Structure formats: structure tokens, C-alpha cells
Structure 1
Amino acid sequence: MSDRLFDSVLAAGPVAEHLGDRAWVQAMLDFEGALARASAEAGLIPGEAADAIETQCDAAHYDVAAIGAQAVGIGNPAGPLVRALTARVTPEAAGYVHLGATSQDVIDTATMLVTAHALSALDGDLRACAEQLARLAETHTGTVMAGRSLLQQAPPVTFGLTAAGWLDGLLAASDRLEQLRRERLAVQLGGAVGTLAALGDDGLTILSGVARRLGLAEPVTPWHTERSRITEIAGALGQTCAAVAKIARDITLLAQTEVGEVWEQGPPGTGGSSTMPHKRNPVAAVLASGSASQAPGLVANLLTAAIHEHQRAAGAWHAEWRPYLELLRTTGSAVHWLRTSLERLRVEPDRMRVNLDLTGGLLLAENVAIELVSASSGDLGRQQAGAVVTACCRAALAGGGELADILAADPQIAKYLSRARIDELLTPDRYTGSAAEFVERALATWKGRSQ
């Protein structure tokens, strides 16, 4: 099965552009160049040697496929890349290539650099999603719709509150990714067993120099076998996919034919079916959901792979590579497709009103029960009032008439509530509680982050 056949669907968006083989090779070369320059600044190697090494740290000079094929020799691609780099520099500089470092230093640092670029691209799509959600929340602050509990109609909410809840979850995930990008993307430089003994007294100076040149954090200790950075990033990517999947799932449910409260208006040729001409599928939301659903297994793989032996793992490090790459890719795809879905989304307030009225006021039964307790000054307790209203609801469901008529005819209810008051209590617009205030709070949070 060719990856390219499915990449446009499951590896879509700008993040994937930063995850190709050449991007990884360039990131490894960036480490080698920074190591050489920091070593020269510390006086460990000649400046001319650093110049010669940096000049050759361009991925365009190297056969990426050949490096990958040769990786089986030592079990990773850093070794053949270092050999190729050494062969390209001047004879005087050759002995200074990769000085004091180990293969894991190269690949772990490259992982952090690639992650930084990927998260930057991801942030652009996340911000666009947040902007769309904020627009929906503000526009539909007062658009009343049926709430759903266990996929059944429940008391009313607003579509603005629904969008605000989506926004809140996405902002939480975005904040976590930004925190990790600022604080936890660290250079790896420890040498053979994490002591930097090969660099003598200059080890910490060179470590600081490499971190500074690459724009990465300087770790307290080498993290060859302490993999919390990887698991934290994995968890944050998983959290992001969960936030995306929740929104995408809600959109697909609201777009069902029987519900019809939202739909995607894509360009011609999108949303159709190979066999059913009438279909209007929310295809972008479907692809967001499909991409995001891959994340939990990948996160689990990375948590399992985090158990590394002593100073260098025997297989666990290698087990990280593919799931980590795939997790970055699938998260990027999920967020890209969510952005596409939100940009295409059309909201149908009239349909929401129709669905609100489907049950003839049954979804406002809670409001009647609460008011009954208050109006009776406690003569009817919460459970007793609930039982009375429940009996009326069951009568309405059984075909005994309109709920308002049944409630008004019940002697226990009529003793405390007039028919006019019952009609007020069964009006959806009057029972949205603090929905508008919650929307305002979510929008204020978003505005604070977007400035």
C-alpha cells in the first residue's frame, strides 16, 4: 500500500511538509554544524574546521535514500550521515566532525528541531480553527438548540455555547503545545554514556553553545534514557487530537439527515458519494475524525517505548521513531481537516428550532419540575415534583395529548402553576441559563490569547 495514495487524506496540511526525510537530514546536519561551531568557540577545534564543516551541512548535498539504506549497518541513519559529511569536508576538518557526540545526540536533537517546525505549522492551523470557533460562538450566542444527553434530546442550549465549549477545549490543547514548545524542546548532547567525557572540561560550555545556536532549551542532564520530553509531547498531541475529534464528531452528528442543523459547503466535487447522488457528506469533519482517531494508539506506543535501560536503550529508542513521526503527521492532518470543516460549516437556526419543537416541550420538563418546587414553597419536594412531571411526560409520550395541556390538567400542578406560567416554562428561549455568559467568558479567553 503506497503512502502517497493516502497522504492527501491522512497526511494533509502544512505540518506534513516539515516531516519529510530531507527535513530530518537537514535537522541532523544543523546539529553537526552547531556542534562544530560551539566547539570552535570553546577553543576545542580550529575555527577553520568549523567553517569547513558548516559549509557542508546542507541536505541538498546528500543522497537521502542512500543514507537510509545504509542505516541498517549501525541501526540508525546518523552514522552514515556523519560518514558522508566527513567525506565532504577538508582533510584538516575531517577529524573534528561529530566530535564528542553520539548517534542518539544527533537524532534526538533533530527530533526536537523537526518538532519545533511542526508545532509552529500546527499553531497556524490551530489559531485559524480558534478564530472560526470564536466567530461561531459570537454569532450564535442566542441561537437556541436542543441539548443532547446520551444522544437523546435534553434541555436547550445555544449553538454559541456549543461552539464556545469546542473553543475552550481547543485552546487548552493549544496552550499545552505552546508551553512545551517554549520549555521542553531541548538539545541532546551527552556523548557515549551521558558524561561528555570526550569533550573534557569544555562539555557544558559546548552544550550551552549548541542549545543557543539551535534555539533549543539546555537540559539539566542528558535525556538519553529519560524520555519525559517525548511522552509529554505525545500526550499534548493526543490531547489536541481528542479536542479535534470531539468537535468533528459533534459536527457529523449535527449534520445527519434527520438532524440537519449544520452542513459543510465545500467546493464542487466534495461531499458526494460514489453511489448515492443525493449525499451531502461532511467530508472534512469525517477526515478530521479519522486522522484524530489514530492518535491514542500512537501515544500508547510512545508511553510503552519510554522505558529505556541504563544509559542507552536496547530497542526502546528505535521503537519511538515511527509512532512519533506518525503522531506529528496525524495531528497535523486532524487539525488541518478541522480547519477546513469549520471554514465550510453552515449553520441552520431554523432547523434547530424545528428540532426543539419535536417533543412538544418535553425537553423543558426539568424547568417545570424545578419551578413546581419553588412555587409550592417546598410542599412538593424535588423528588415528588419530579415524579409528578415525569408522569405527565409519559402520558404525553403515550399519545395522551400535548404536554402543556396535560400539565395544566394535573391537580397537583394546577394548584401552584397557571396555564400561562406553564407555557412560559415550556419556552426554550427562557431556559438557557448562563449560556450567554459562558460564551462571553470563552471569547474573552480567546481574545486574551490571540493578542
Structure 2
Amino acid sequence: MSTADRIFDTGLLSPVTAGADGSVSDAAIRLALVDVEVAYLRALEASGIAPAGLADRMAQTPIPPAAGLAQRAVLGGNPVIPLLADLREHLPDDVAAWVHKGATSQDILDSALMLTAHRARAIVLECLAETIEQLARLADTHRGTTAAARTLTQHSTPTTWGLRFATWLGTVLDARDDLAGLELPAQLGGASGTLASLVALSDGGTAARMPALFAAELGLAQSPAWHTSRAPVTRLGDSLVAVTSALGVIASNVSTLGRAEIGEVAEPSAHGRGGSSAMPQKQNPVLSVLIRSAALRAPALASTLHLCAAMAIDERPDGAWHAEWPTLRELLRLALGASTIAAELVTGLTVDADRARHNLELSGDDILAERASLTGTTGTAADYVGLSDALIDAALARARS
């Protein structure tokens, strides 16, 4: 078996994440771990605990890729322990002596995962910004494109495609705001969350300043130690699910309303995309399918994070903490993949106004029954759009603010 074949997960069974998850790869997380150790040493210097200049020398020292880091992590139950051995082996003795001094493995790994999430979030938010811009464009363009609204799968009253896009836009804006406003904290508590080692190295006042200094070095939020208070992880997981769910709404609607017998909307085409291995006439809505796959997988992962939070006992969880790592990483992968694909989907999405009008007319005057029951006259489809323009304008204003 070749070296390439021994790489366990390249997204072969998760095409929604393939090519979009580099920011949460093993290599990216290892880099974050090193960055956290450098930031911690900078905080030690800034507090006056460690001599000045050590962190710069550490940052400038080439650290080769860690061979077998995952396998060696089995011995101590986490990757920080073997990584420290690698760092100390390649650093000058006076620098190595201060690496990780006063910290614990959970401080470094939790902070590295939040740093990784911070970096991945920036990519997700960039993709969501593109999706928001394109949904706003579609809502404005199609504010007069009438269609049959569907409730419980059946024709209900007339609506417009512009209002439909505005509704999707609002859902994505909510998810974007939740994710963007989320505080991602650094972790620093020492062996049992009391900062006792840092107190031993300095004094109580200096040790108390260290969490803020450390967080500032990483560009993360400051927080009291959260070794067993896992709200930062569950909140992040919930925000990521909100993203995949919002994008899943779009994908589900596109795949349904793009069915051959409905045909009101179509995904952007690309050479080789959407083909069938057995039926050459088919053009499958692959982008929507992949986004839906992420939306279906994500909620169960978030529930795992909540289960782990409930099992975070004593001052250091035994297994619950460890179960969070791959779960949170997978949620980040799904949000990265779904948001990347969603931006492409809505950018090239097309609406068939004639087909929408045809479908609207299938119900004849029955689709106007609500107005007739209220006023005694059916009116026209245009009479049913009501405040749709105002609702669209409100969504556009929010998107552009």
C-alpha cells in the first residue's frame, strides 16, 4: 500500500467536505497546537514570568512534521504530550525548558481547537457572505415572479419567488449572525483549573493576569477555565448546525422544486457534474444533494457534544473530553463544505418564470379560494402577494446593513 493510500480520510465518503476542509486537517490542528504553545510562551514573557525573547526563537525554529504523532498520542491519551517531546527535541535547551511550563494538555488542546475553529469560521463566514449577497440579488430580481406557495406539500395561495428567496435569506442571516457573534475562548487553568503552577512560578496577581494575556496572543476571548464547563464547545456546535440547517433549507427546496415535474428552479450546470452512471439523460442536483447530506449529519454531532458536556465530571473529564475532538472537527468540516457549495449553488441558480406561472395555473381559481372566503371575490394572483415587497425590502436592508 502506497503512502497516499495510507491516508485515512480524504473525503472519499464525504464529498461535501472534500477540498473544503484543509483548515481543519490533522496538519492544520498540529500547526494550531504549535501556535498555541508559542502564544503561551509569549504570555509567560509578557507577564514577566519567563525571560524575554524565547517565544521569537521558538517561532523561528523549524519544527519538522511529527512522525507518527497520532500513534504516539495513544500512550498519553492526547496529541499534546508527544508533540511536546518533538518540540523540546528541536529547540535550544533554554527555550525548551520554558515550553508549556505551568500549563496542562487540556489548556493547549482546547485552545488549539478554538483557534482552529476561529480560522475555519472566517472561511465559513466568507462563503455565507457570498450566499447572502446572491440571495439578495435573487430576491430583488424575482420580486414579481409569481409562483404557487406550497403548504404541507400542496398548492395554497400565490406567492413570489422573490419572497421565497427573501425567506431563505433571513434564515441564512440568522445563522451567520449567531456564528459571527460567538465568542471562542482560550483555555488556561493548569492541572486542575486553579492556575496553581503559575502561582508557584510567580505570584497570585501575575498568575491571574495570564489567561487574558494568553487569549490576547491568540486573538481569542478570555474566559475562566472551562475544563469541565463545556458551553464554549456546545455553543459552537449549535451555531455550526444552524449554518448547515439554514443551507439545508435552500438545498431541500431547490432539489424539490427542481424536479422534472415541477421545474421551477435549476442548479448551475458544469461539465461532468450531475451525471448518472446508468442513465445518461439525467442531470442530478448534486450541489443540493451534498448540502443536504451535511444538514442531515450535523445535528447528531451537536447532540454528541451536549452528551459529552453532561459527562464532564470532576476537574478533568475521562473520555467525554476526548470524544469532543473528532466530533467538533467533523462539524467544522460539514459547515466548511456546505457553505462553500452553497455559495456556488445560489450564484448560478436560475428560476424558470414561465414554468412557475404554469404550475400556479394548474390549480385554477381554487388557488384564490382564501381571498374569496374573506371578501367574496377571488381577485388575481397579484392580489395575494400582500406585503411581499415590504418583506423583501426588509430582508435586503438587513443583508446590506
Q: TM-score range by the shorter chain?
A: over 0.9
What corresponds to 1:303 in structure 2? 306
How far apart are 1:7 and its partner, in Å?
A: 6.4
2:395 aligned partner: 442
1:1-54 deviation digits (Å, cap 9, x = unpaired):
95325267221454x121111211111111111111221232222225444433
Partner residue in 1 for 2:380: 427
Counterpart contact for 2:266–2:350, Cα < 8 Å: yes
Contact 2:11 2:18 in 1 (8 A): no
Moved more, 159-168 or 257-266: 257-266
Distance 1:439 1:370 in 2: 25
2:11 and 2:242 mapped to 1: Cα distance? 28
Contact 1:36 1:54 in 2 (8 A): no
1:40-85 superposed Cα distances (whole Å, 9 cap, x missing partner): 23222222544443333x5xx2333422111011100000111111
In structure 2, how many angstroms separate the alpha carbons of the residues matched to 1:197 and 1:147? 63
| Structure 1 Cα separation of the partners of residues 222 and 110 of structure 2 | 13
**Change in 2 beyond 3 A, CA 1:223/1:42:** same
| Per-residue deviation, residues 264-286 of structure 1 (Å, max 9, x unmatched) | 23112212222222212221111
Amino acid at match of 1:240: V
1:120 equivalent in structure 2: 122
Instruction: Tell me, yes or no, if structure 1 residue 19 matches structure 2 residue 21.
Output: no
Give the distance between the partners of 1:78 and 1:362, measured in 2 at CA.
67
Cα distance in structure 2, aligned partners of 1:194 and 1:101: 10
Report what 2:168 is aligned to.
166
What residue in structure 1 maps to residue 93 of structure 2? 91
Whole-angstrom distance in 2 between the partners of 1:263 and 1:10: 19
Most deviating of 288-297 and 45-54: 45-54
Q: Which residue number corresponds to residue 315 of structure 1?
A: 319
Checking the alignment, whether the CA contact within 8 Å between 1:144 and 1:159 is kept in structure 2 is yes
Are 1:344 and 2:297 an aligned pair? no
Distance 1:366 1:428 in 2: 11
**Counterparts of 1:5-44 in structure 2 under 5 Å?**
6=12, 9-12=15-18, 14=20, 16-44=21-49
Note if contact 2:158-2:367 (Cα within 8 Å) is conserved in structure 1: yes
Say whether 1:4 aligns with 2:3. no
CA contact (8 A) 2:140 2:392 kept: yes
Q: Within 2, Cα distance between the matches of 1:94 and 1:435?
A: 65
Equivalent position of 2:79 in the other structure: 77
CA distance in 2, matches of 1:350, 1:251: 17
Q: What CA distance in whole angstroms lies between the structure 1 residues aligned with 2:382 and 2:279?
A: 38
Tell me if structure 2 keeps the 8 A contact 1:13–1:332.
no
Label 1:46 to 1:142 Cα distance change in 2 as closer, same or farther (>3 A): same
Which amino acid in 2 is paired with 1:344?
A: G
Deviation at 1:163, TM superposition (A): 0.1
CA contact (8 A) 1:13 1:336 kept: no
Which consecutive segments of 4 or more residues in structure 1 shift more than 4 A? none
| TM-score normalised per structure 1 | 0.83
Query: C-alpha distance in 2, partners of 1:48/1:348?
Result: 64
Q: Which string of whole-angstrom CA distances, capped at 9 and with x for unpartnered residues, describes residues 389-412 of structure 1?
A: xxxxxxxxxxxxxxxxxxxxxxxx
Whether the 8 Å CA contact 1:141–1:158 is kept in 2: the answer is yes
Match of 1:282 among 260, 280, 285: 285
Give the unaligned 5+ runs of structure 2: none
Q: Is the 8 A contact 1:22 1:64 kept in 2?
A: no
The amino acid across from 1:189 in the alignment is: L
Whether contact under 8 Å (1:161, 1:435) holds in the other structure is: yes
Which residue of 1 is the match for residue 357 of structure 2?
353
Aligned amino acid, residue 386 of structure 2: G
Whole-angstrom CA distance in 1 between matches of 2:140 and 2:340: 23
For residues 14-413 of structure 1, the aligned pairs below 5 Å read 14=20, 16-56=21-61, 61-180=63-182, 184-200=183-199, 201=203, 202-219=206-223, 221-307=224-310, 308-372=312-376
Instruction: Tell me which amino acid in the other structure corresponds to 2:195.
Output: L
Write the letter of the residue equivalent to 1:4: T
- Aligned to 2:119, the other structure's residue is in SS state helix
Q: CA deviation at 1:232?
A: 0.4
Looking at structure 2, the residues matched to 265 and 45 of structure 1 have their Cα atoms a distance apart, in angstroms, of 57
Higher relative contact order (CA 8 A, sep 6+): 2
1-structure distance, mates of 2:231, 2:288: 32
Structure 2 residue matching 1:47: 3-state secondary structure: coil
Please say if residues 231 and 306 of structure 1, whose CA atoms lie closer than 8 Å, have aligned partners that are also in contact: yes
Cα distance between partner residues in 2 of 1:79 and 1:289: 38
Any idea what SS the aligned residue of 1:277 has? coil
**Does the 8 A contact of 2:251 with 2:291 survive in 1?**
yes
CA 1:266–1:52: 2 relative to 1, 3 Å: same
Cα separation, partners in 2 of 1:293 and 1:64, compared to 1, 3 Å: farther
Corresponding residue SS for 2:147: strand
CA RMSD of aligned residues (A): 1.6
Whether the 8 Å contact between 1:252 and 1:285 is mirrored in structure 2 is yes
The 3-state SS of whatever aligns with 1:248 is helix
- In the TM superposition, what is the alpha-carbon distance from 1:212 to its structure 2 partner? 1.3
Go from structure 1 to structure 2 and tell me whether the alpha carbon gap of 1:267 and 1:102 turns closer, same or farther (over 3 Å shift): same
Encode CA deviations 1:126-154: one digit per residue, 9 max, x unaligned.
Answer: 00111110011000011110000110111
Q: Deviations over 1:222-249 (max 9, x none)?
A: 0111000000011111111111111110
Of stretches 36-45 and 313-322 in structure 1, the one that deviates more from structure 2 is 36-45
